[in-house]
């Protein structure tokens, strides 16, 4: 296919991955026969999560710019084009995980365009293995923090200010609920409910949608009272919502408006951006940590406390034990080693 024969582009020249593409071409023979409602559901099934779509969109812009520069036809991508692009990404220092995500975006767009794809060609697989050996397979993973470190962080917060109260609630709820940052910022006040049973009172947070739950099935996380009021997630939550002016609906975590730099700031009605969660974690817990550290720290702390994978999955909503193992940070081979328990 020549460049003049390429598939139609979006408003800015980008092949459309998301739902604004006017027609789904999952396959050429199917596209001409499906009813509009079938087409809509097929497209929704291919889209993935909002965050994935955003990442894919940026990756496709990069890929199409590369093809434009080198006069390659991007759709359908020839094997030689894909190989050249992979080598380019490796040469400019992209991580293996980033390269694989770019290829996944290109593969997804081929599906949406109803075009054959060379992504899984054996020769490209060999090239990817070579890149993996060259740049290394190990991805940089968010480290886990310890509970004492979290407590020291909470102790340093200025709880006379709204930003301090927000930070405490965000850190404690994020950790105790094993939240992804996208889940944290998506929480609305109407998603939270105090529930009493015969022995306990807990905060139930209902997630209408999450990264692993795109179908919108009911998914809940449970937050328990802490033994020490200074580090109690429910107490931190109550103190923060008292700053929201009596609102009972809308986002739980919101941005703060300051008239001048250094002022405490007043809560707005604007939902906090998930990238801001990452910055807040780094600001308070330390630069080496990220928002994902809230989740992996819950898993690591729970494993060290002897909790079963089933109990952990009830909070994280992960589907397999393999994912629990992947998220457990027990990298210190001296501190965390079965050799300590041999009884010698």
Hey, where are the domains in the chain? 3-135, 147-336
Buried b (16+ CB within 10 A) or exposed e, 193-209: eeeeeeeeebbebebeb
* Fold match between domain 3-135 and domain 147-336: no
Task: Enumerate residues 6+ apart whose C-beta is below 8 A from 42.
Answer: 24, 26, 34
Superfamily covering domain 147-336? Intergrase catalytic core (1.10.443.10)
Q: Is 222 helix (H, G, I), strand (E, B) or coil?
A: strand
| Orientation of helix 96-113 relative to helix 50-70, angle to 10° | 90
120-137 residues labelled b (16+ CB within 10 A) or e (exposed): eeeebeebbeebeeebee
Query: Phi first, then psi: what are they for 204, rounded to 5°?
Result: -100, 125
Q: What is the mean pLDDT of residues 235-257?
A: 95
Whether the pLDDT of residue 9 is over 50: the answer is no
User: Which spans in the chain are helix H?
Assistant: 28-31, 36-47, 50-70, 79-91, 96-113, 122-135, 147-156, 162-176, 181-186, 233-241, 274-285, 292-304, 309-316, 321-327
Residue with tokens 């767009």: 109
Question: What pLDDT, in 10s, does the model give residues 51-87?
Answer: 556 667 888 999 999 999 999 999 999 999 999 999 9
Over residues 42-52, mean pLDDT = 55
0.85 surpassed by pTM: no
CATH code for the structural domain at 3-135: 1.10.150.130
Q: Give me the mean pLDDT over the 203-210 stretch.
A: 81
């Amino acid at each position: 296919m020549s460049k003049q024969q390429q598939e139609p582009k979006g408003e800015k020249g980008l092949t459309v991955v998301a739902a604004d593409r006017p027609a789904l071409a999952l396959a050429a023979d199917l596209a001409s026969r499906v009813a509009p409602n079938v087409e809509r559901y097929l497209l929704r099934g291919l889209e993935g999560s909002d965050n994935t779509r955003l990442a894919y969109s940026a990756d496709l812009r990069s890929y199409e710019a590369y093809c434009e520069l080198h006069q390659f036809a991007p759709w359908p991508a020839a094997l030689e084009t894909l190989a050249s692009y992979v080598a380019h990404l490796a040469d400019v220092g992209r991580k293996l995980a980033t390269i694989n995500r770019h290829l996944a975006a290109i593969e997804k767009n081929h599906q949406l365009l109803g075009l054959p794809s060379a992504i899984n060609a054996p020769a490209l697989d060999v090239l990817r293995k070579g890149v993996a050996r060259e740049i290394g397979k190990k991805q940089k993973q968010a480290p886990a923090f310890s509970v004492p470190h979290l407590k020291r962080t909470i102790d340093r917060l200025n709880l006379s200010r709204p930003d301090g109260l927000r930070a405490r609630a965000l850190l404690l709820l994020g950790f105790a609920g094993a939240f992804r940052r996208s889940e944290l910022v998506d929480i609305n006040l109407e998603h939270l409910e105090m529930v009493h049973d015969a022995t306990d009172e807990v905060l139930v947070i209902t997630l209408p949608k999450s990264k692993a739950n795109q179908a919108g099935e009911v998914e809940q996380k449970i937050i328990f009272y802490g033994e020490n009021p200074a580090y109690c997630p429910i107490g931190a939550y109550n103190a923060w919502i008292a700053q929201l002016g009596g609102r009972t609906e809308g986002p739980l975590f919101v941005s703060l408006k300051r008239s001048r730099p250094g002022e405490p700031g007043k809560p707005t009605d604007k939902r906090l951006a998930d990238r801001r969660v990452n910055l807040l974690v780094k600001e308070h817990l330390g630069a080496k940590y990220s928002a994902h550290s809230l989740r992996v720290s819950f898993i690591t702390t729970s494993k060290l406390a002897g909790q079963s994978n089933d109990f952990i999955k009830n909070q994280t909503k992960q589907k397999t034990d393999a994912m629990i193992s992947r998220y457990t940070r027990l990298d210190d081979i001296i501190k965390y080693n079965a050799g300590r328990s041999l009884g010698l």
